Structure 1
Amino acid sequence: MAGLVVVLVILVIAGLIAAGRSIRVVQQYEKGIIYRFGKVRPEVVEPGLTLMRPVGDRMQKVNMQIVAMAVPAQEGITRDNVSVRVDAVVYFRVVDPIKATVNVQDYQFAILQQSQTSLRSIIGQSEMDQLLAERETVNRELRRIIDEPTEGPWGIRVERVEIKDVSLPEGMKRSMSRQAEAERERRARIITADGEYQASKRLAAAAAVMARDPAALQLRLLQTVVEVAGEKNSTLVMPVPVELLRFFEKMTPGSAAPAVASSGADEESSDLGDDEVAAAEAAITHTPAPELTSTDVSPVPQVEAAAETIPGLPLGNGAATTAARSDAS
């Protein structure tokens, strides 16, 4: 009886061990591959409770989640001969667990090496401006280069590639800073010039309005005086009003004559300025100026009469000619 009990105990223990080796639990983010006597079974074990043979079968679980792997910074020379240092992040996942475990020994290490070589290649094919400004284009090209040799033979799909940082030499950074500063200065000058141009147009329009209406110019003068007085200055300069200057201009005899002459020139094109000469002579002799018309007698007889009234005046050629003309008449 004791021997039978020992045998039963051994059988129970063997059964438990066999059951433990036959029952496997596959997580939701995993898939299992069964090796039966060293040969891979074509069926992939889905997540859940799985039974397999206790003898001859071995299960290997493969993680199907997306893996984010950092690519170490790689140094290279761009197409425009600029030394840069670029690092990236690769997001990949297993799409075929059998290929990922059979065709490649360590698929994560293989992806890392492929990413480093592809990153150096993309640095040499791109320009510095593309690495800095066209990140999306560079990321798509880098993903295509890495994914091409990995998805088919290895069963690894590269979902996304992102360039994290692009390190430039200090000399290149200073050159780019000077270029950016010059560009900002150019834009500032253009904006300033545009503002001055628009302000000059507004000032020209305001000057035209004030020239048509002198009261507007006077109001502007008063407003300027109020603004200057509000600043608590000890000295206030009062400019001469324009209307006062125009008043003196009208009262000046020499300035009124050209206005009369201009008006007369508009009315009669044959006016030679006799009215202005007569007005000047009348102002000198304090006698009223005679009104001259086109039918008035020539002033030559007046010169003769003035000569005859002065005793002892010798008669010259002009006087003789005048006397001869009077005798002839």
Structure 2
Amino acid sequence: MVQELVVAGAAAVSACMVYVAAAARVVKQYERGVVFRLGRLSGGVREPGFTMVVPGVDRLRKVNMQIVTMPVPAQEGITRDNVTVRVDAVVYFKVVDAANAVIEVEDYRFAVSQMAQTSLRSIIGKSDLDDLLSNREKLNQGLELMIDSPAIGWGVQIDRVEIKDVSLPDTMKRSMARQAEADRERRARVINADAELQASKKLAEAAKEMAEQPAALQLRLLQTVVAVAAEKNSTLVLPFPVELLRFLERAAQQQPALSEPQSPPPAQPSPPPEVEP
């Protein structure tokens, strides 16, 4: 009799251990558990830690609550200004309602991926090429709103959307390179012309000052000679003084006047002879 009780107790303990092993579940810190009992949602969401389910009746499904980084495949489209481009992006999202993520949508990751691709193609068609290249913050916000609107009902929250790269055809790259080169050349010419204008104004002011002080021109000539001689050139160009040219010009004008023959003075009439009385 005692032996039978011992065997029955051992069998009961073994059955309890088997039941506990079959019913025991562990939910990790970054997960939440959703229990379906006979196909229906049972109770609330199971928190992290140890939990129990009814074997054969309950089915526990774990949902990851971490932020998911999902790359969006490159989408090819035509912009509003008729340029063919390929744009890829990346979506950051997380599950905020584990029950809705399991019940409302079959596969929330696949759903978010498809929604991101269609939204990206829509953004390409509504934007200009310049916006895709330089105004990405605004496009990222618009893309995030387009994806987040349907994802709210799935228990998913879009954290951030970023456009990674914009690929252009080779012909468009060459055209943009030529345009950028022409724009840089135009700006260089404008800057050079502005510099010439400023230099001419300064030279005019310097000319006025030198006109008032003729000795300043000679000092400037000597400074030029010193600057040229400092380069240690084999040939030294010495400017000819302008004042000396003017002196020679005045001397040449006075030379013909001195070389002309002078006419004799007119004869004075002789006095009449004196008559003696």
Report if TM-score (shorter chain) is over 0.5.
Answer: yes
Query: Does 2:71 correspond to 1:70?
Result: yes
- Amino acid of the structure 2 residue aligned with 1:46: E
Cα distance in 1, alignment partners of residues 191 and 130 from structure 2: 27
Deviations 1:49-90 (A, max 9, x none): 334445633322111111010111111111111111111111
C-alpha contact (below 8 Å) 1:30/1:61 kept by paired residues: yes
How do 1:62-101 residues align onto structure 2 when only pairs under 5 Å count?
A: 62-101=63-102
Cα distance in 1, alignment partners of residues 50 and 264 from structure 2: 137
Distance 1:168 1:236, change over 3 A: closer
C-alpha contact (below 8 Å) 1:99/1:155 kept by paired residues: yes
Structure 2 SS opposite 1:157: strand
How do 1:20-59 residues align onto structure 2 when only pairs under 5 Å count?
A: 20-53=21-54, 56-59=57-60
Cα distance in 2, alignment partners of residues 100 and 130 from structure 1: 34
- Amino acid of the structure 2 residue aligned with 1:221: L
Distance 1:286 1:151, change over 3 A: farther
Cα distance in 2, alignment partners of residues 45 and 251 from structure 1: 116
Cα distance in 1, alignment partners of residues 11 and 173 from structure 2: 77
Deviation, 1:223, is: 1.3
Cα distance in 2, alignment partners of residues 41 and 205 from structure 1: 93
Query: Does 2:16 correspond to 1:12?
Result: no
Query: Does 2:126 correspond to 1:142?
Result: no
Deviations 1:8-40 (A, max 9, x none): 222112111222344433222111112223211
Distance 1:189 1:250, change over 3 A: closer
Distance 1:49 1:286, change over 3 A: farther
Moved more, 241-250 or 88-97: 241-250
Q: Which residue of 1 aligns with 2:129?
A: 128
Cα distance in 2, alignment partners of residues 88 and 176 from structure 1: 23
Query: Does 2:213 correspond to 1:219?
Result: no
Cα distance in 1, alignment partners of residues 170 and 237 from structure 2: 58
Deviation, 1:232, is: 3.7
Cα distance in 2, alignment partners of residues 207 and 13 from structure 1: 114
Structure 2 SS opposite 1:222: helix
Cα distance in 1, alignment partners of residues 77 and 240 from structure 2: 76
Q: Which residue of 2 aligns with 1:296?
A: none
Distance 1:106 1:238, change over 3 A: closer
Q: How many residues align?
A: 266
Cα RMSD (Å) of the superposition?
2.8
**TM-score if structure 2 supplies the norm length?**
0.85
Deviation, 1:156, is: 1.1
Gaps of 5+ in 2: 271-277
Cα distance in 1, alignment partners of residues 239 and 58 from structure 2: 111
C-alpha contact (below 8 Å) 1:25/1:47 kept by paired residues: yes
**TM-score if structure 1 supplies the norm length?**
0.72
Cα distance in 2, alignment partners of residues 32 and 117 from structure 1: 31
Cα distance in 2, alignment partners of residues 286 and 62 from structure 1: 134
Structure 2 SS opposite 1:108: helix
Deviation, 1:204, is: 1.2
Structure 2 SS opposite 1:44: coil
Q: Which has the higher contact order (CA 8 A, sep 6+)?
A: 2
Cα distance in 1, alignment partners of residues 115 and 253 from structure 2: 102
- Amino acid of the structure 2 residue aligned with 1:121: S
Greater Cα radius of gyration, structure 1 or 2: 1
C-alpha contact (below 8 Å) 1:86/1:165 kept by paired residues: yes
Structure 2 SS opposite 1:81: coil
How do 1:1-329 residues align onto structure 2 when only pairs under 5 Å count?
A: 1-53=2-54, 56-152=57-153, 154-245=154-245, 284=262, 306=266, 309=269
Structure 2 SS opposite 1:87: strand
